[in-house]
Structure 1
Amino acid sequence: MFKRDPIQIITFHSYGTSNHLYVKGRAIEDEGIDLNKTGFFSLLRNSWKRFETDKVKNAKLTLTLTDDRTIETITDSQGYFLIDEMIENLLPLTNDEGWLQYIISFNDKIGRREIQENNNFLGEVLIPSEEANFGVISDIDDTILHTGLTSRFKWAVVKNTIFKSAENRIPFEGAADFYTKLHQGKLGKNCNPLFYVSHSPWNLYNYLELFLSVNNFPKGPILLRDFANPFTSIFQPKEKGEKPEKQREIQNILKTYPKLPFILIGDSGEHDPDIYIEIAEAHPERILAIYMRSVNHRKKMIRVEGLFKKFETVPVLLVENSTEAIKHARQMGFLK
């Protein structure tokens, strides 16, 4: 008899407030992906499993907080679930860094399948510390991780995504140190929250989480895009007037923390300059600075330099390396 894969709940690092719980994740079959494996065929197999997911739809789930309060939800047709509820007194449940832990479990049969013995899946939500002076919203692709989005026909994206393990991906030099300093802030203990946004699909969540962890980036919510095919955004145009999902996520972060100013970090390769300019012009009092990593692409750099030439709404720095960014951040009073 054919043995079916066990089922699991993937929880995504998300964010909330002392009275607002925002939890996102996905229920899928456990394909046994080992992110530590290397070698051409292992990486190819992992990539195939990552995108050929067997979702668990219409599954009833129960989230349990550490004080035993529970919330029920159900997965959609793609296996995703979202809990977006007002719930009081969450701050006492967080640790020193502002992370609230919870357990989420299947609470019913899935078709003919019995729930396995290991039915407690750990998740975390960031509730920023009251000591935070500002937040940081950073792109991932070609900002801290070289993806090759500016390469001809995007072939570097394919090569890096499929044929390189998360542990072998090399971050831009000094990026983790810069982000750690921003997280620590001027006092060295501010616990300023970091939010990582990307056009990558949720299928790559565990891959990117491992990359950030092994390279010592501060832990933060990882906010990705809802689509099944990682190359959809490259070849499929958006409808007229539709805002990029990254931009909508940034706007939601600003709305969630109305009293917290933010630093935006991106790169000059794709859409970050346009998105960040629009956000800064809409919320000039909320954006402290914009850092744009320069990319090795002459035409794109000429365009970006033109965009920012007369832009005076908020301070903008086009940087070649993290040392320049750290120096500027100290001058601005963001770091000690």
Structure 2
Amino acid sequence: MNPFRKDPSQIIPFRSYGTSNHLYAKGRALEDENIDLSKKGFLTMLWIAYKRFGTVLIKHTDLLLTLPNGQKIEIKTDNQGYYLIDQTIKSLWELVDADGVLSYEISFNDTRHKKRTFGDNKFKGEIMIPSETAKFGVISDIDDTIIHTGLTSRFKWQVIKNTIFKRAEKRIPLEGAADFYNTLHNGKSGNECNPIFYVSHGPWNLYRYLELFLKANKFPKGAILLRDFVNPLTKRFHKTSESEKPEKQKEILNILKTYPKLCFILIGDSGEHDPDIYIEIAEAHPERILAIYMRSVSHRKKMIRVRGLFKEYETVPVLLVEDSKAAVEHAKEMGFI
């Protein structure tokens, strides 16, 4: 094995969202560490986790995005290997399939990396563009809302155990979550194709892991929106403004801005910051939020706090649920499904 040999180059497109006249495509170029998420074994899973967070980024390299109609867009990755295309393009709706998905190809446009890719230097990306039949959108947290992570556990050991030592397809979703989300996606008529947005505090390094989990457990396809990885060893040296909103909150506000005529259902858990974020959003946009569903967590102090927040809250309907059954019943009463 040659220690100086570079790994093959790859592009990981993140499933994003856009409109009929606005293209928003995001992803990352990095070296292919040959991560096989289906492999088993304690040491193997530990090694995969190391490679997942120790990626070698491909910075400042030229990429070429190709739309189904042959239109091409040139873009360059930034100093973290990310690419972002955020521009107005008319008539994108003509390129969208029945599920509201616009598929595209992206490839290296730099000779240094063209020859270092597996296959034919074509990577598939997707952008969710809501159908005109959509009645509302669903914005959902991931951690402890659809998948148990253990964020409320002491010292966060359960988070480490679940994320590093459990394969994505073996992670068990919270009971009834997939069926509930598919029912919301289909809506009351059964063919509304209501868009789903999965938003998490998790880093982009977990994108393929979460994508595999959602697919394996038959959740409806939707945009997966994460954040940049922050090294916990250096985080304390970076000062942030107390007025700065969490990345998840910024993303939700951007979704509302992107679809000004669409109302939304917010789904989260009671363990971390979802209650505070959702209340602030509902207070700012009460006419846009149809309901808030908060999954209860096994943490007495946190639940006491959350129940206090919503005890006399009347701006929008809020339901604290133990499982998806209560949420389904409420959604039927409200006419969402």
Give runs of aligned pairs for residues 188-267 of structure 1, distance below 5 A. 188-229=190-231, 238-267=240-269
Shift in alpha-carbon separation, 1:251–1:67, aligned structure 2, 3 A? same
1:3-48 CA distances to partner (integer Å, 9 max, x unpaired)? 2110000000000000000000000000000011111111111101
Q: CA deviation at 1:228?
A: 4.6
Decide whether the 8 Å contact of 1:267 with 1:292 is kept in 2. Answer: yes
Could you say what secondary structure the match of 2:161 adopts?
A: helix
CA–CA distance in 2 between the matches of 1:297 and 1:196? 24
Q: CA deviation at 1:160?
A: 1.0
Decide whether the 8 Å contact of 1:108 with 1:115 is kept in 2. Answer: no
Could you say what secondary structure the match of 1:73 adopts?
A: strand
CA–CA distance in 1 between the matches of 2:231 and 2:181? 30
Q: Which moved more, 1:39-48 or 1:15-24?
A: 39-48
In the alignment, structure 2 segments of 5+ residues that lack a partner are none
Q: Which residue of 1 aligns with 2:188?
A: 186
CA–CA distance in 2 between the matches of 1:324 and 1:235? 44
Shift in alpha-carbon separation, 1:295–1:157, aligned structure 2, 3 A? same
Shift in alpha-carbon separation, 1:334–1:235, aligned structure 2, 3 A? farther
Match of 1:78 among 75, 80, 93: 80
Q: Which residue of 1 aligns with 2:298?
A: 296
Decide whether the 8 Å contact of 1:142 with 1:267 is kept in 2. Answer: yes
Q: Which residue of 1 aligns with 2:313?
A: 311
Q: Which residue of 2 aligns with 1:171?
A: 173
Could you say what secondary structure the match of 2:293 adopts?
A: strand
CA–CA distance in 2 between the matches of 1:26 and 1:105? 11
Q: Which residue of 1 aligns with 2:151?
A: 149
Q: Which moved more, 1:246-255 or 1:160-169?
A: 160-169
Alignment partner of 1:282 is 2:291: no
Could you say what secondary structure the match of 2:112 adopts?
A: coil
Decide whether the 8 Å contact of 1:12 with 1:124 is kept in 2. Answer: yes
Structure 2 length-normalised TM: 0.96
Could you say what secondary structure the match of 2:185 adopts?
A: helix
Shift in alpha-carbon separation, 1:103–1:170, aligned structure 2, 3 A? same
1:92-137 CA distances to partner (integer Å, 9 max, x unpaired)? 10100110010001111338x8454521101000110000000000
Q: Which residue of 2 aligns with 1:9?
A: 11
CA–CA distance in 1 between the matches of 2:321 and 2:97? 34
Decide whether the 8 Å contact of 1:201 with 1:230 is kept in 2. Answer: no
Could you say what secondary structure the match of 1:25 adopts?
A: strand
Alignment partner of 1:103 is 2:105: yes
Q: Which residue of 1 aligns with 2:44?
A: 42
1:119-175 CA distances to partner (integer Å, 9 max, x unpaired)? 110100011000000000000000001000000111111111111110111110100
Structure 1 length-normalised TM: 0.96
1:32 partner letter: N
1:126 partner letter: M
RMSD of aligned residue pairs (Cα, Å) = 1.7
CA–CA distance in 2 between the matches of 1:43 and 1:148? 18
Q: CA deviation at 1:237?
A: 7.9
CA–CA distance in 2 between the matches of 1:36 and 1:237? 39
Could you say what secondary structure the match of 1:35 adopts?
A: coil
Decide whether the 8 Å contact of 1:94 with 1:101 is kept in 2. Answer: yes
Shift in alpha-carbon separation, 1:332–1:231, aligned structure 2, 3 A? farther
Could you say what secondary structure the match of 1:314 adopts?
A: coil
Could you say what secondary structure the match of 2:111 adopts?
A: coil
Could you say what secondary structure the match of 1:211 adopts?
A: helix
2:188 partner letter: K
CA–CA distance in 2 between the matches of 1:147 and 1:232? 24
Could you say what secondary structure the match of 2:200 adopts?
A: strand
1:63-119 CA distances to partner (integer Å, 9 max, x unpaired)? 0001011111100111001100000110010100110010001111338x8454521
CA–CA distance in 2 between the matches of 1:144 and 1:305? 21
Decide whether the 8 Å contact of 1:143 with 1:172 is kept in 2. Answer: yes
Q: CA deviation at 1:232?
A: 7.9
Could you say what secondary structure the match of 1:110 adopts?
A: helix
CA–CA distance in 1 between the matches of 2:234 and 2:253? 23
